[in-house]
Amino acid sequence: MAKNANYRVQLRRRREGKTDYQARKGMVISRKLRLVTRGSLKNATVQIVKAKPEGDFVLVAASSKELSKQFGWKAPTGNIPAAYLTGLLCGLKAKQKGVKEAILDAGLVSPTKGARIFAMLNGVVDAGVDVPHSEEKLVKERIKGEQVAKYAKKLGVGSEEYNKKFAAYLKAGVAPEKLPEHFTKTKTDIIASFKGEKKE
């Protein structure tokens, strides 16, 4: 509600919590490609975007849903391993299109250490795209899902609590304690698909 004559209503997307216009202005003025990372509870999306006067143009994009449809990923698509693989997939697509560098656009997400946006960033960087970042923010020790595997073993394979907490994994046909191996195979398949190799 207006309190005085100088009150200004924020722009719609800012009111909706979708756009930080001050940060966006700085990125657009830089004229560099933006690495846009977005996540929901069940999905992760990574895009390389170019700003033009008429609007943003997505040069390449990858979604964690592609992991399931094209590369046999059976684990949930909203976790850190899936976020990393989505970033890797987008990064490889970008390299294929000749994209060499970009700057991170995390939107309104707080850049907390260990956040999924940094797993996505890690994947893009590992694919060979240069994105300025601090090594401290990356989540290298968690991208394979080893923390999930350890927790599953701690609960005890087949126990009631194990079956309850990892119902989604078991329903999809992947044992949570085997997540690091599943991650490694999916990563290998993604990289192989960009080398013209056939997946097993």
pLDDT at 85 over 90: yes
Question: What would the pLDDT profile of 51-63 be if each residue is shown by its tens digit?
Answer: 888 888 999 999 9
Domain assignment of residue 198, yes or no: no
CA dist., res. 37 & res. 127, Å (int): 15
Q: Say what the pLDDT of residue 200 is.
A: 41
pTM: 0.86
What does the mean pLDDT of the chain come to? 88
Using alpha carbons, select from 22, 54, 49, 25 the residue that is nearest to residue 35: 49
Number of domain units in the chain = 1
Alpha helices in the chain (DSSP H): 12-15, 21-30, 64-71, 80-96, 116-126, 146-155, 160-165, 167-172, 179-193
Whether 134 contacts 141, CB under 8 Å: no
pLDDT of residue 13: 65
> Binning pLDDT at 50, 70 and 90, where does residue 43 land?
very high
Q: Is residue 199 part of a domain?
A: no
- How far is 84 from 144, CA to CA, in rounded Å? 9
Which residue from 87, 92, 79 is spatially nearest to 174, judged by alpha carbons?
Answer: 79
Q: Give pLDDT, residue 19.
A: 62
Q: Please give the pLDDT value at position 198.
A: 43
Instruction: With cut-offs at 50, 70 and 90, classify the pLDDT of residue 14.
Output: low
Confidence check: pLDDT of 167 > 70:
yes
Q: Which residues of 35-44 are buried (b: 16+ CB within 10 A; e: fewer)?
A: bbbbbeeebb
Residue 3 lies in a domain: no
- Position 22 pLDDT exceeds 70: no
For residue 141, the domain's CATH number is 3.30.420.100
pLDDT of residue 48: 97
Model confidence pLDDT, tens digit, residues 119-144? 999 999 999 999 999 888 887 889 99
Domain that holds residue 79: 17-193
Alpha-carbon radius of gyration of the chain: 19
| The predicted structure's pLDDT at residue 173 | 92
Residue 123 lies in a domain: yes
- 154 pLDDT above the threshold of 80: yes
Residue 93: what are its φ and ψ, rounded to 5°? -65, -40
Domain contains 94: yes
> What whole-number percentage of the chain has pLDDT above 90?
66
